[in-house]
C-alpha cells in the first residue's frame, strides 16, 4: 500500500538487475526504452533516442483502463550511473504534480534499481485522490521494473540496446 497524506502519495519499488549501474542507467534513461517496458506508456514525444539529461523534456501518453492522459516530464537530475530524476507539474490533471526518482546502487549481483514516485495534489484538487491512489498502485511500477530488468539482462554487450 502506498504511503499517503492529505496531499501526497508516495510509492517505492526496487529490483536487482544483473548488470552494472552504467548499463542499467543507460537503458532506463533512454525514453524510447520506457515505451517498450512501461505497462501504461503508449506514446512518447521529445527526447526519445538518446539518454535524457538535465533540462531535457519528454511527453508520455499513458493509458490504463478507461483513462488516458499525458504528462510532460523534465529531467531535473542526471548523475550518470547513480541517480536520475524527472518531474512534471501536470500529471494528467491541473493541480497534480509528480516526481520520479531513480537510484542505481552497485551491489554484488549488479544494480539495485530503486524507483520512488511522489504525487502531489495542489489545494482544491483533493477530489482527484481516489484516482491518484489507483495511479499509486505498486503493481504497475513493479511490472515496469521487472520489464527493465528482463531487457537489460537480455543484452550482453555493453550499451548495445
The 3-state DSSP composition of the chain as helix, strand, coil percent (nearest 5) reads 25, 45, 30
Other residues' Cβ atoms within 10 Å of the Cβ of residue 8: 14
Condensed to tens digits (0 to 9), the pLDDT of residues 59-74 reads 999 887 787 889 999 9
Domains, the chain, in order of start with CATH, read 3-154 (3.30.530.20)
Per the CB < 8 A criterion, the answer to whether 148 and 25 are in contact is no
Select the more confidently predicted residue: 132 or 77. Answer: 77
Condensed to tens digits (0 to 9), the pLDDT of residues 122-152 reads 776 555 555 555 555 678 899 999 999 999 9
Measured in whole angstroms, the distance separating CA 153 from the mean position of its chain's CA atoms is: 19
**Cell numbers that stand for 108 in this block:** 554484488
Amino acid at each position: 500500500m502506498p504511503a499517503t497524506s492529505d496531499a501526497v502519495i508516495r510509492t517505492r519499488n526496487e529490483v536487482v538487475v544483473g548488470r552494472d549501474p552504467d548499463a542499467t542507467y543507460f537503458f532506463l534513461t533512454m525514453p524510447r526504452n520506457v515505451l517498450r517496458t512501461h505497462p501504461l506508456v503508449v506514446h512518447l514525444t521529445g527526447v526519445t533516442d538518446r539518454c535524457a539529461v538535465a533540462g531535457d523534456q519528454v511527453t508520455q501518453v499513458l493509458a490504463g483502463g478507461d483513462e488516458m492522459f499525458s504528462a510532460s516530464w523534465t529531467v531535473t537530475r542526471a548523475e550518470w550511473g547513480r541517480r536520475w530524476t524527472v518531474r512534471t507539474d501536470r500529471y494528467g490533471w491541473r493541480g497534480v504534480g509528480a516526481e520520479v526518482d531513480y537510484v542505481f546502487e552497485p551491489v554484488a549481483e549488479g544494480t539495485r534499481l530503486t524507483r520512488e514516485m511522489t504525487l502531489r495534489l495542489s489545494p482544491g484538487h483533493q477530489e482527484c485522490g481516489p484516482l491518484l491512489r489507483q495511479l499509486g498502485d505498486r503493481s504497475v511500477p513493479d511490472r515496469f521494473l521487472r520489464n527493465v530488468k528482463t531487457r537489460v539482462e537480455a543484452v550482453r554487450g555493453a550499451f548495445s540496446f
